[in-house]
Amino acid sequence: MVVDFGSQTTQLILRRIREIGIYCEVISYHQIMDKIKELQPKAIIFSGGPSSAFHRFSPKVDKKVFDIKIPILGICYGMQIICEQLKGKVKKTYKREFGKAYIRALKKSALFKDNIKLNSKTQVWMSHGDEVVKVPTGFEIIARSDNNIAAIAHTKKKIYGLQFHPEVIHTLKGKQLIRNFILDIAKIKQEWKINDFLQEQVSLIKNKVGQNKVICGLSGGVDSSVVAALINKAIGNQLTCIFVDHGLLRKYEEKEVVHNFKKYTNAKIVYVNAKNIFMQKLKGIKDPERKRKIIGREFIKIFEREAKKIKNAKFLAQGTLYPDVIESKKIQGSKLKVIKSHHNVGGLPKKLNLKLLEPLRELFKDEVRSLGKELNLPDNIIQRHPFPGPGLAIRIPGEITANKIRILKNADYIYINELKKYKLI
């Protein structure tokens, strides 16, 4: 379980843990005791954050967490909050460290194992303006940089702190340190596999949907394709995919999407040729924001119209991913605060009165691609070059015309094929 204090690299921590083969979730610091009871984690990692641990209103955790015998690793602000709450001392530093730095291991530790040799220098990545100047009772300093305490440990309680960021690639031994904490200190088994996730989701979808029907908006992108393939595996012809062609897709894309999906999934697809509708609505419009809103509005109207034709549909499937969920609930102050509404989170058209089905909401993009492989989707689907919802419209300055679309489609086609030719994608 990763406790988020507002760090920009919280998602990286999760990804490093998932790469090891361990399932992990992110929570807000103020939820910690409730989430421990709910999730029963075998280890806890405190993320970094922009606050100062010694400020009165800075994010803090319930101090009970330090007495429940779950291994804890604090990263940057996470280490500082451990020290501040356990009666150590943190203060503003006059030697701020940002970027590449070097640390020296002072003592042997299970956290370092054989990855960081005693008294040898190791490159890490720092990002802090405060420093720990006194460690709490029972803790020892196990590493220093040229300026500050870099790592601490309470071996008996299995509580550790790192002033640097092991989750970023610039910390050369960072992955190994996270691995040492998870596997050797917390002794968690590597039991999370994408195939297990697949089987679990198939069962969950079957139970949730029952005999009802599901609608899925198919764009041809990785997320919607994997969602549709997964749901199709679970409930077969109870799924109907709606593919709205707004005329702003890449060259041959509408044909490829329909052909590939029928070939590899047998899913039902409703193809809607709405090119003329979109061109008419976009005529004379030059402002890029207005164009984007028109495309979004018309897409929803057409999707709603087609969805209403499907009888007994009770669910709308969306390709929401874990980063979408995290970014829609960023930490600020003492509570979760929504800083933006992601297009996949809360985007359900109210008029349809459908329940949301988001089977990928616990996965990162690379895990979605792995799931696509498990579902036997070909590389030309799961490795598809990213493409935004408004399509080529966002790359056409001024008014959108048929001639501009034709030129851009051809240019994009040449560009993408050159990337493929030299194996750059």
Calpha distance 225→232 (Å, rounded): 10
> From the candidates 30, 128, 154, 165, which is the catalytic residue?
165
User: For 346-350, which contacts have Cβ atoms below 8 Å and span 24 or more sequence positions?
Assistant: 347/318, 348/316, 348/318, 349/300, 349/303, 349/304, 349/307, 349/316
**Whether residue 167 lies in the annotated active site:** yes
DSSP state of 180: I
DSSP state of 236: G
111-140: buried (b, 16+ CB within 10 Å) or exposed (e) per residue?
Answer: bbbebbeeeeebebbbbbebbbeebbeebe
DSSP H or E run through 332:
strand 330-332
Closest CA to 238 of 270, 260, 264, 206: 206
Q: Residue 249 in contact with residue 390, Cβ under 8 Å?
A: no
Give the chain's length: 425
**Whether residue 24 lies in the annotated active site:** no
Calpha distance 51→58 (Å, rounded): 6
Residue type, 386: P
- Sheet with 44-46, strands from edge to edge, namely 26-28, 2-4, 44-46, 72-75, 159-162, 149-154, 140-145, 89-105, 121-134
Residue type, 164: F
User: For 409-415, which contacts have Cβ atoms below 8 Å and span 24 or more sequence positions?
Assistant: 409/250, 409/251, 410/251, 412/250, 412/251, 413/250, 413/251, 413/252
Q: Which two tokens stand for residue 363?
A: 């996965």
> From the candidates 97, 131, 167, 367, which is the catalytic residue?
167
Annotated catalytic residues are 76, 165, 167
